[in-house]
Amino acid sequence: MSAKLTPEHELQLMSLLPQLKEAKAITLRGYCYKKDIGNAKSAALARAVNVEKFLVKQGISKKKLSRRFNTEDAEHAVRVEIGK
């Protein structure tokens, strides 16, 4: 249920860096199921923000990044959607 990135998550993101650097747009969609936590929207967005901060530190332009959230699906994650 945490919004923090684990070392495993960071490795997953690092493996995507070449694709992310070439992408024109990147959507970070935070997930937090509303039936599992009271303020699911905030939790979902916090997850997306933490991924955004990590990617910016890795040299990804903040201008390419956008954040979205999903509280309807029974997931707790962030999906990285790469636009061409």
Task: Name the pLDDT band for 1 (thresholds 50, 70, 90).
Answer: low
pLDDT at residue 57 above 90? Answer: yes
CA distance 36 to 59: 34
Beta bridge partners of 68: 29
Instruction: Report the residue count for the chain.
Output: 84
CATH superfamily to which 7-83 belongs? OmpA-like domain (3.30.1330.60)
Provide DSSP, 51-77.
HHHHHHHTT--GGGEEEEEE-SSS-EE
More confident site: 29 or 2: 29
Give, as one character, the DSSP assignment of residue 38.
Answer: T
CB distance 24 to 69 below 8 Å:
no
Domain ranges of the chain: 7-83
pLDDT at residue 24 above 70? Answer: yes
